[in-house]
A and B are shown apart, each in its own frame.
Chain A
C-alpha cells in the first residue's frame, strides 16, 4: 500500500497556515438511542411554541430555493411572521429551478429491496463516510414524506400508464428510487414550493423581499438577531430584525467562475456569517459532475450540465488510440473504442459515482485521448498546451435497442439543449461531455437542529455541510433541500424560539446593528472608490483558474501552497486595482458582483487550506499523495474521520481548525469499491 501520512510534515504546515482548536460535537442528537429513534426523540424533546405566541415571532429566512422556500412556506403556515429574501426578481427563480435529474426517496414503489436503511447506507457510503450518520438517517427517513407533499401540491412527476408514479435509477445505486419530472425535476419541485410560498404571501404570514441581497449578519448579545440587506434597485441599505435567522442561500461553486451554477450563486451570506463566528465545515469538498458540455472558448460564462440520467442509457468511451481522436466518431469501429468505465468497473459500468466517472474522464484526456475542440491550458510548470477536453457519451446503441422515439421520449429535451449549445445533433453524433464544478458539499457547520455555532443562526440546504460527506450522490441535494425546509427546520427551530420571549429587544440603535451597517457602507464605499484598471470578471476568472488548477479534481501539497500565495496576491490586486463603475444608489450589477467576488477571494484561500490539511483522498477530493497502487482514491479513516470546522480569527490571521469526530454506530465503515 501507499505510504501513510507524515504527521511531522502536517505539523510544520499547520504552523504556517492554521492553528488547531478544541474538538466540536453535536449535542442535539441522543446518540445512546438506536438510530431509528433519534429523530422522533428529538421532535419530542424539542420545546414547542404555542400558536398564540407564534405570530409575535419573526423568523428571517434568506433564500427562496427548495430549502428556503419550503421553510418559509411551512413556518408561515405554522403562524410565524416570516421575512423572506432573495436576490432574483422572483422567488421562483432560485437556483434549485435548474436541477434536472430527479429526487430520491425510500418509497420502495419498485419492490426492488429499497428501504430507509438502504437509502441511508448508500448515502453515507457514497459520501465516503465523511457525513454525519444521524443527519443522514433522518434525511432518508423523511424522504418518503417529501414525495407525498409534492404530489399533493400538484408537482407533475412522471407517471406510468396505470397512473402511478414512475422511478429511475441514478449513479452509484442499484435500486430505482429516483422520482423525476422529465429533465426538469428541480423546476417542478421549486414551483411547488414557490406556490406554497405565494399562498402564504397572500395570507400575510410571509413578507417577500425580492432583489434584496443580504450583505451582513447582525449578531447582538451573542445571538443572530438580524441581517443587513442592499436593495438591488435603489441601493438602500436596510436592517431587518427577528428572533432567529435562517440561511438557505445555496452553494458556492461559483468560486471557480465556470461552474454549472447560476450566475448569481455566491457565498456572501455564509461568509459574512462565518466572519461573525459561524464555523465553516469542510470547505474544500466540491463535487465535480462528470456529464457537462465541455468548455468551448475563453468568453464562456458558465457550463451546462447534461443530466446524469443520461448515463442510464448512454455509453461513455474514447478512442483507444490518440491518432483516432480527430476522426469522425462514427468512423471508429467498435474494436477501436475504449469503453473505459465498463472496462475498469464492470459491475457499475457507466453508473459509477460521480467522482470516479469524473476522474477517469480527466485521465483519458490527460493521456491525450480526449475528443472535440482543443482548448489552451497552462500547466502548473507554466508551459502552455492545447488539449481536447471531452469524452463521448454515445446513444447509438440505445437508439438501436429502444428505437429513436423511445430515446426521444426519455431524453428529448436534453438532446435539444445539447444541440442548441453545440450545434451538433446527438441523435447522429455522440455527445461530448467533460466534468465541471457542480455542487459544494462543504458549508456552514450545523448541529442536528441545523443550528450553526452562532445561537439563533440556522442553515438549510446546500448552504450547510451536513448530509453529503465528501461526495454527493445524484438526486440527493433536492431531497436534502426539501427535507430541511419542509420537515427538519420547522421542527427544530421551535426549541430555540421557545426562549425568544426572554431575548432582549434589538433595533437599529443596538451597537451590533450600527457596527454591521457601518461595515457594509464602508465596504461599498471602498469598492466604488478604488477605480483601478481590472474588471471584476477578469479577476474572478483568474481566481477560477487558480481554484480549478490547484484545488479542483486532483490536488497536491505543492500546488495548494502555491495557490494560497496566488490567491493572496490576487486579493491584494482586487482591493487596489479593481474597477467598479457607477454609484451605490442605483441598480448596479458591477457593484453586486464585486461584493460577491470579495468574499470568494477569502473563501478560496480557506478552501485551499482545508484541502492542504486533509492529506487523504476521499469522495470528490482526490489527493495525489494518497492513492492505492491501482491509482484509486485512498482514505485514511484512522486520521481523517472527522469534519473540519474552521473558525475565522480575523483578517490576516490563521484560521482555527476544530474537529468533529465522526462516529459510525449503525453502519460499518468500508473502503468504497465499485469494481
Chain B
C-alpha cells in the first residue's frame, strides 16, 4: 500500500512544531502502525534526515509507553475503518485503505509537555501515584496470602480496574485534559480489596489533590476518555472515585472512624 502521512515534527519543548508531509510506499497490511513508522524512519535515515521520534517498548499493548493521536483519535483505534479498542502498537495497517492520508500528532495536554516530535512527558501520572496510589506494606510484613478471603466479584472488579496501563490516552482525549479515568482506575483497584481499606479515604483525597497540582483539568463527564481507553476502563470507575471522594469529606482514616 501507499500511505500519505502528516506528522507533527518538533525538535524540543521550546520549538514551535509543525505538521510535515511524507509519502510511504511498500506498506503491508500485516505491519503494525509502529512498524510502518519504523519503515518511514529507515527511509528518512537513508536520506540523511532525522527520523521521527516516537515512544514504544513492549509493542504488545501492555507497557503503556506508546501512544499518538491518529487522525484526531488517541491510539487511533476508534477512528479507523474497523474500530477496535487498541494501543497504537497493536493497531495494524490493514485498518487503513491504500492511498489514505494519516495525520499523526503527540498527546496534547498542558500537563504533558512535548519532548520531541511525538514524545511527551507523562511523569505527572507517576506523581499522582506517589501521592497515595499504593497500599503501605513493607517487605516482609505480610500475613499468609490465604489469611484473607476476597469476594470473587469484587476481586474481578478490582482486576478490571488494575489493568490500566498508564498510557495517558484518556488525558489526551479529554477536552479538559482531565486525568480522572486514570486516577479512578487506581482508586477502584485498591478500594475493592480488603487490603486497600485502611488508607482508602486518605488515598482518594491525596490523589485528587495531586491531579489538581499537576494541572490536569476537572472531569465534566464528557466520556471521551473511556471511549479511547485501550483497556476498557469504564466510566463507572469515575463514579466510584467521586463517591469515595465525597465520603472522604465526612470520614477520616484512623482514630476518628
Binding site for B on A (CB under 8 A): 70, 73-74, 77, 88-93, 95, 97-98, 107, 109, 145, 147-154, 156-157, 159-165, 181-182, 184, 186-188, 191, 194-196, 198-199, 201-202, 208, 210, 233, 262-264, 296-297, 299-302, 304, 417, 420-421, 423, 486-487, 490, 533, 535, 537-538, 579, 581-582, 586-587, 589-590
Contacts and interface: CB of A to CB of B under 8 A. Distances in A.
A184 B134 contact: no
Interface stretch (B29-37, B98-106, B170-178, B245-253): B29-37
Interface stretch (B158-166, B211-219, B220-228, B236-244): B158-166
Contacts of A184: 62, 163
* Residue of B42, B116, B138 contacting most chain A CB atoms (<10 Å): B138
Q: Which 7 A-B pairs have the closest CB atoms?
A: A163-B149, A195-B134, A152-B142, A148-B142, A151-B145, A156-B159, A587-B116
Nearest to B59: A302
B21 interface: no
B65 A88 contact: yes
Nearest to B206: A202
Contacts of A487: 139-140
Contacts of B138: 74, 77
Contacts of B129: 194-195, 198
A195 B136 CA distance: 9
Contacts of B64: 90, 92-93
A300 B142 contact: no
B5 interface: no
13 contacts: A95-B63, A145-B140, A145-B142, A149-B137, A154-B193, A161-B152, A188-B159, A191-B162, A195-B129, A263-B58, A300-B31, A423-B30, A581-B51
Contact of A263 (B59, B90, B119): B59
A301 B59 contact: yes
A8 B21 CA distance: 63
A90 B148 CA distance: 32
Given A148-B144, A420-B84, A420-B92, A299 B122 contact: no
A148 B145 contact: yes
Contacts of B136: 199
Given A188-B162, A196-B134, A152 B141 contact: yes
Contacts of A109: 146
Contacts of A159: 150, 152, 155
Contact of B58 (A91, A98, A202): A98
A170 B196 CA distance: 31
B205 interface: no
B257 interface: no
Given A89-B123, A486-B139, A98 B65 contact: no
A149 B163 contact: no
A98 B62 contact: yes
A537 to B, nearest CB: 6
Given A156-B159, A195-B133, A421-B92, A89 B39 contact: no
A263 B60 CA distance: 10
B25 interface: no
A163 B46 CA distance: 58
B42 A535 contact: yes
Contacts of B133: 195, 198
B134 A151 contact: no
Contacts of B148: 151
Given A92-B166, A262-B59, A299 B159 contact: no
Interface string B177-208: 00000000000011001011000000000000
Interface string B32-64: 101100110010011011110101111111111
Given A299-B39, A537-B38, A152 B143 contact: yes
B57 A263 contact: yes
Interface string B78-93: 0000001010001010
Q: Which of B35, B57, B149, B189 has its CB near the most chain A CB atoms (within 10 A)?
A: B57
A44 to B, nearest CB: 16
B30 A297 contact: yes
Given A156-B159, A301-B38, A535-B42, A587 B53 contact: yes
Given A88-B65, A89-B122, A301-B32, A164 B149 contact: yes
B62 A300 contact: no
Given A297-B31, A581-B50, A107 B59 contact: no
B35 A95 contact: no
A357 B31 CA distance: 28
Contacts of A579: 45-46, 48
B56 A152 contact: no
A296 B163 contact: no
A233 B115 contact: yes
A296 B30 contact: yes
Nearest to A531: B48
A340 B121 CA distance: 50
Contacts of B35: 299-301
B62 A156 contact: no
Nearest to A197: B134
A209 to B, nearest CB: 11
A186 B149 CA distance: 22
Given A156-B155, A297-B31, A586-B116, A304 B60 contact: yes
A208 B127 CA distance: 11
B202 to A, nearest CB: 13
Contact of A90 (B38, B60, B122): B122
A145 B141 CA distance: 10
Contact of A89 (B42, B60, B121): B121
A582 B136 CA distance: 45
B151 interface: yes
B126 interface: yes
